[in-house]
Amino acid sequence: MDTNGNWHVTLPAADLQQLPEGNTPLQVTATDIAGNHGTGSFSSLVDITPPTLTLGTIATDDIINIQEAQSTQTLNGTASVSEAGRTVTVALGGQFYTGKVGNDGNWSVDLPSHALASLPNGVYSLVASLTDATGNVTQVTKTITLDANSAMRPTVTVNAFVSEDNTISAADTKVSQILSGSTTNVE
Ligand SMILES: [Ca+2]
Ligand SMILES: [Ca+2]
């Protein structure tokens, strides 16, 4: 204690880690030379448990195709009911989307069609995160496939048929004819 009556006590980390979760009352007692006591107390909230967080399936099969990318796709999930009102953040392709945890613990985050359509086709890590009031963070990652970029849509080209004039004559029907062409973006 200094001459102004200010004091401090260091609480070792090893002791803090032994504290039970929840509200922990702390009491400080001062005693003067005559043996008189004075006490002060406060309550400190201990929360070392990160929230639970689960992710549902998006676009039926976690594959977003061209048709699905034309409308908003909603990612649903669950979280600890204790996190009601807090924000779930979803990262996809360098963009962030958010939704709130409901009173039942359910949440949903919308991925807008313009964002889905602008991403190159490929496999993406979709990362959802939720931070509780104490700062404990839970992150859950799932892999989704985007097959939605129309520039990558399969194309079919058919070459001219039957002696280059596309007309099947009586003579042409007497022999086999070959139909040929080419495709792009077909795996
Ligand atoms: Ca917590
Ligand atoms: Ca799908």
* Residue 65: how many other CB atoms lie within 10 Å: 14
In this prediction, residue 62 has a pLDDT band, given cuts at 50, 70 and 90, of: very high
**Backbone region of residue 95 per phi and psi (left: phi > 0; alpha: psi in -120 to 50; beta: other values):** beta
From the CA of 63, how far away is ligand 2's center (Å)? 4
From the CA of 45, how far away is ligand 1's center (Å)? 10
pLDDT over 90 (residue 87): yes
Phi/psi at 14 (5° precision) = -60, -35
Amino acid (one-letter) located at 150: S
pTM: 0.67
Q: What is the CA radius of gyration of the chain?
A: 32
**pLDDT value for 154:** 65
Which ligand gives the minimal distance to the CA of 67?
2
Which ligand gives the minimal distance to the CA of 133?
1
From the CA of 141, how far away is ligand 1's center (Å)? 20
Q: Which two tokens stand for residue 57?
A: 């399936």
Phi/psi at 2 (5° precision) = -90, 180
From the CA of 58, how far away is ligand 2's center (Å)? 7
Q: Are 140 and 127 in contact (CB under 8 A)?
A: yes
Which ligand gives the minimal distance to the CA of 131?
1
From the CA of 47, how far away is ligand 1's center (Å)? 5
From the CA of 128, how far away is ligand 2's center (Å)? 20
Which ligand gives the minimal distance to the CA of 58?
2
From the CA of 131, how far away is ligand 1's center (Å)? 8
pLDDT over 90 (residue 106): yes
Query: What's the pLDDT tens digit per position in 114-145?
Result: 999 889 999 999 999 999 999 999 999 999 99
Gap between the terminal Cα atoms of the chain: 76
Domains of the chain, CATH where assigned: 13-46 (no CATH), 53-151 (2.60.40.10), 155-182 (no CATH)
* Residue 51: how many other CB atoms lie within 10 Å: 22
From the CA of 107, how far away is ligand 1's center (Å)? 17
pLDDT over 70 (residue 187): no
Query: What's the pLDDT tens digit per position in 21-56?
Result: 777 777 888 888 888 888 888 777 788 899 999 999
In whole angstroms, what is the distance from residue 83 CA to residue 99 CA?
A: 12
26 beta partners: 42
